[in-house]
Structure 1
Amino acid sequence: MPLRNRHGVPVDPVPFVVVVGLAFMILLSFGPLYGQALGLSLEAGIAASVALFLVALTVAFHRQVWNADPEALVPAALRAERLFYLIPILTALIVALAVPLLVG
C-alpha cells in the first residue's frame, strides 16, 4: 500500500522511513539511558522515549507524507548538498549524546 498525501497522490516512502528509523534508533538507544541518569526508572525512561518517538513519527508523517508535493522537483545538486551537511550533523549529534554517558 503506497503512502498518499492529502490529495491522494502517491508519495515516495523512503525519506519518511529513513527519518523514522533514525528517530527510533536515537530515541530508543539514548532515551532510557538519559532517563535513568535523570532519576527515572528504566520503564519510565522507555515510556518517555516511546512517547517522543511517536511525536517524531507524527511530525515526520505530516511533513514528508501528508504535505508532500511529488510534482515539485528538487535538483540533485541541492539534495546532495543537504545530504553532505546532514552526515556531519548526525555524527556530531550521536557523539554529543554519548559524551555525558561516558563521562558520568
Structure 2
Amino acid sequence: MVVGIAFMILLSFGPLYGQALGLPLEIAIVLSAAVFVAAAVVAFHRQVWTFRPEYTATVPSAVRAERLFQLIPILAALIVALAVPLVVG
C-alpha cells in the first residue's frame, strides 16, 4: 500500500512539478521514477527486512484499520494541496 501511494503521488505530480521548475518532460519523469524506486527500496527495507513478527500481535487489526480510515482524508487533502500550485500558478 505504501509503495502504491508513493507511485501514485510521485508519478502523477513529479513530472508536473519538474516541468514547472523548468526541466524537460523526459528528465522529470526519470527523476520521479528514481525517487519512486528509492521510496520502494526504503519501504521494502522497513517492512520486510526489519519486520519482527512478535510486534504484529501488539496492535489489534481493528486499530490498524481505524488508523487506515483516518488517513484517507489526510491523503485526499495532500493530493489537493499538491494540485493547488499547479492550477493557480
Pair in the same fold by TM > 0.5: yes
| Consecutive unaligned residues in structure 2, runs of 5 or more | none
Match of 1:36 among 15, 19, 23: 19
Higher helix proportion: 2
Describe how 1:19-58 pairs up with structure 2 within 5 A.
19-58=2-41
TM-score of the pair, normalised by structure 1 = 0.77
| Distance (Å, rounded) in 2 between the aligned partners of 1:20 and 1:48 | 16
Q: Residue 91 in 1 paired to residue 76 in 2? A: yes
Letter of the structure 1 residue corresponding to residue 12 of structure 2:
S
Asked if 1:76 corresponds to 2:61, the answer is yes
2: distance between equivalents of 1:22 and 1:44? 22
Q: How many residues align?
A: 87
Distance 2:3 2:39 in 1: 7
TM-score (norm 2): 0.88
Supply the distance in 2 between the matched residues of 1:101 and 1:70 (Cα, whole angstroms).
43
The amino acid across from 1:63 in the alignment is R
Looking at structure 2, the residues matched to 22 and 77 of structure 1 have their Cα atoms a distance apart, in angstroms, of 22
Task: Let me know the Cα RMSD of the aligned residues.
Answer: 1.2
Alpha-carbon shift at residue 102 of structure 1 (Å)? 1.1
Sequence identity percentage:
74
Question: Which of structure 1's runs of 4+ aligned residues deviate more than 4 A?
Answer: none
